[in-house]
Amino acid sequence: MTRYLQYFTLKSVYEINGLFLNVRITYILLAFAFFSVSCDQAKLSDARSQYLRGEYHAASETYRKLYRSTPREELSMRGVIAFEMAENYRALNQPARAVVAYDNAIRSGYPDTTMYLSFARMLHRERKYPQALDAYRSFLLMQPGHPLALNGIQGVVMAQQEQPSRYAVQRMNLFNSAQSEFSPLLARRDHLIYFTSSRDEAAGETKSPVTGMKYNDLFFSEKDVNGAWKKPKRLPDEINTGYDEGTPSITRDGEWMYYTFSGTGPNGSDGTSIYYSKRVNGAWRAGRPLQILKDDTLSLFAHPTISPSGRYLYFVSDMPGGQGGKDIWRVSVSSDHITGIPQNLGASVNSAGNEMFPYMRDDSTLYFSSDGLPGRGGLDLFKAIKRQQTNDWHVSSLPVPLNSPADDFGITFMQDAEQGFFSSNRDDARGYDHIYSFVYREPTLIVTGFAVDQEDEFIPGARVSVTGSDGSQQRFITNLKGEYQFKATGGIEYLFTASAEGFLDEKKSLRTTSEEKDTLYYVDFEMVPYNKPVVLEHIFYDFDRATLRPESKRELDKLITILREHPEISIEITAHTDRKGSEDYNLNLSTKRAQAVADYLTEYGIGQNRVTAEGRGKTEPKYVSKNLADKFVFLKEGDRLSEEFIEQLPPQQQPVADQLNRRTEFRVVEPTFFTL
């Protein structure tokens, strides 16, 4: 977590219940006088001095040696060392080691209430959710209602329930080194990217006592003519020095850059400030401090981001008047000078923890990271949208895998695309930060279907017209298999019309889901032909009677729908019987059955002049279609199920043929443009 240490070396302030925890070291020093110690006082003094100077890397080695050399029977002293070592590991962003050290301090009986909160937060980061809940609850017993603990519990619950989103994240090995990289910034219409790095190519010869690595510099990468990123280079301009530079933000016109600078004086850090630089003749000039307050030496100022309009500069500070810890503020700015008074973004954005690394995607959309709002552990990425009516912000957490139990921060977006880059120390045991790319994978919504006739024969060349509620219009032609397919948009109402020569037009509708998931929709058309008999499936009568059974009505209701959708057509109903019985008997029975169907249709509003009924008895045996031949292996396409044919079949097959002959059909008469 070097970018955290880089800017907040001596001012890493966590405010809990109005008390600044960095004074705890002072209390520890006072309390230490009451202990009888046998360890080397000089070594303990060295460790504490290193810690107070922000030299956490060196302090960790000193504390570790002290802890190992302290006898086990000196339990109180081991507790003191374990606690201080845990605080140092927490500052170094090494939660696994911090968890062990805090646990040792607790078992040694170290008397510190807030230790349980820090312990819980480190467990949270290590995905040890049950233990983190216990630690948060233990702390709440001592400090009821504490916002960081309450938000921590909420974050643990959220982390255990959340499902991955449609964002895809990938580590950008081309940009990363063996050291740390963070806070990427896209510029020049996404053809240039800046970022901060402590890699070997950084300018300074000395290493930071905080991190044990070189001081950070600004680096960049450009795209080649094929759109591929080139190998990163150190920014060759005057802007880089032997100290820390990072987290850049550039005005839309590319003329001004704001960034964070942290220098070092004889007594350690000279503080963290916002600098600005002007681009002249294609090069960035040496940076100068941007004075935000008349006396800005008492507070840190870091992580600037300029709004796209150039009106406001957003930044991070621990100046008085915030919500606790480090807050995000904004101030009106004009190029190289401040023109207004800083404003805190308020409790809707800032918490009792730390809010950092702001990024303005547009003038009303802010992205930032926080360790105080409910999250998955460490710094999480959040999105805040400015509400003009209430002048506050609606804040929401970014989903997994953009967020993780590690530190996730410093996001930048490509123009007009839900993709870009961010930084994270996930999957790095040393706590080093690296740059990751991300892209939102739009849900794939496919609509497919086919057009067939009433015998399930494909209809190639059918025209399928699709109109969307978003104003879209598309037209498709079914292929040789009668199929069509297209990619749809979520949350849209689609109206379909299928038409083909010799068939009635058929209409259907579909509303696609707005859920973020891949979905396949089927919209099939079973088209009704002109002047060709169509079997009404599932039409049943009482035995030896013309009374329609209730289970027949569903099929007839479908026919009513067709007639209502096509008021210009008329139909002819025909009923057929099997070979059994006399011709007169079957003719009379089939006539009554056809009329029963016609009566049902007219009863439900279909005009009598649109429906004719006729009984055919057993005079018109069924011809076997391709579909029936596929269904019944003992039949061939074109077979005529006459009495002679059926009597030649084996006895077990004859009832099937008789059943096929017992049918009720309708035939569409050519359109008459009749209107009810």
Same domain, yes or no: 387 and 450: no
Residue 22: the pLDDT is 37
Same domain, yes or no: 250 and 394: yes
* Backbone φ, ψ for residue 186 (5° rounding): -80, 140
Question: Is residue 6, in this structure, part of any structural domain at all?
Answer: no
Residue 260: which of 217, 205, 294 has the closest Cα? 217
Same domain, yes or no: 240 and 328: yes
Same domain, yes or no: 244 and 366: yes
Same domain, yes or no: 542 and 482: no
Nearest-angstrom CA–CA distance, 34 and 15: 27
Same domain, yes or no: 431 and 490: no
The larger pLDDT score, comparing residue 57 to residue 100, is at: 100
Same domain, yes or no: 521 and 545: no
CATH of the domain at 377: 2.120.10.30
Q: Tens digit of pLDDT for each residue in 178-232?
A: 999 999 999 999 999 999 999 999 987 777 766 778 899 999 999 999 999 999 9
Judge whether residue 672 has pLDDT over 70.
no
Same domain, yes or no: 176 and 242: yes
Q: Tens digit of pLDDT for each residue in 394-425?
A: 999 999 999 999 999 999 999 989 999 999 99
Residue 429: the pLDDT is 80
Is 216 within 8 Å of 261 (Cβ atoms)?
no
Question: Is residue 2, in this structure, part of any structural domain at all?
Answer: no
Is 87 within 8 Å of 27 (Cβ atoms)?
no
Q: Which two tokens stand for residue 639?
A: 């077979």
Question: Is residue 674, in this structure, part of any structural domain at all?
Answer: no
End residue of a domain, out of 505, 526, 547: 526
Question: Is residue 160, in this structure, part of any structural domain at all?
Answer: no
Is 235 within 8 Å of 252 (Cβ atoms)?
no
Sole residue written with tokens 């849209």: 492
Same domain, yes or no: 22 and 137: yes
pLDDT category of residue 670 using cuts at 50, 70 and 90: low
Nearest-angstrom CA–CA distance, 407 and 378: 5
Question: Is residue 8, in this structure, part of any structural domain at all?
Answer: no
Nearest-angstrom CA–CA distance, 318 and 8: 10
End residue of a domain, out of 115, 145, 175: 145
Same domain, yes or no: 514 and 556: no
CATH of the domain at 561: 3.30.1330.60
Q: How many domains does the chain have?
A: 4
End residue of a domain, out of 408, 425, 440: 440
Residue 194: which of 181, 208, 177, 180 has the closest Cα? 181
Helix (H, G, I), strand (E, B) or coil at 478: coil
CATH of the domain at 67: 1.25.40.10
- Give residue 80's domain range: 18-145
Question: Is residue 1, in this structure, part of any structural domain at all?
Answer: no
Q: Can you give the pTM of this predicted structure?
A: 0.74
Same domain, yes or no: 507 and 475: yes
Question: Is residue 5, in this structure, part of any structural domain at all?
Answer: no
pLDDT category of residue 266 using cuts at 50, 70 and 90: very low
Spatial CB neighbours of 217, under 8 Å, sequence gap ≥ 6 = 196, 197, 198, 201, 202, 203, 204, 234, 235, 240, 245
Is 635 within 8 Å of 628 (Cβ atoms)?
yes
C-alpha neighbours within 13 Å on the C-beta side of residue 182: 28
* Backbone φ, ψ for residue 601 (5° rounding): -65, -45
Q: What is the dihedral of CA 573, 576, 582, 588, to 10 degrees?
A: -20
Q: What is the mean pLDDT of residues 303-329?
A: 95
Question: Is residue 154, in this structure, part of any structural domain at all?
Answer: no
Same domain, yes or no: 413 and 514: no
pLDDT category of residue 439 using cuts at 50, 70 and 90: very high
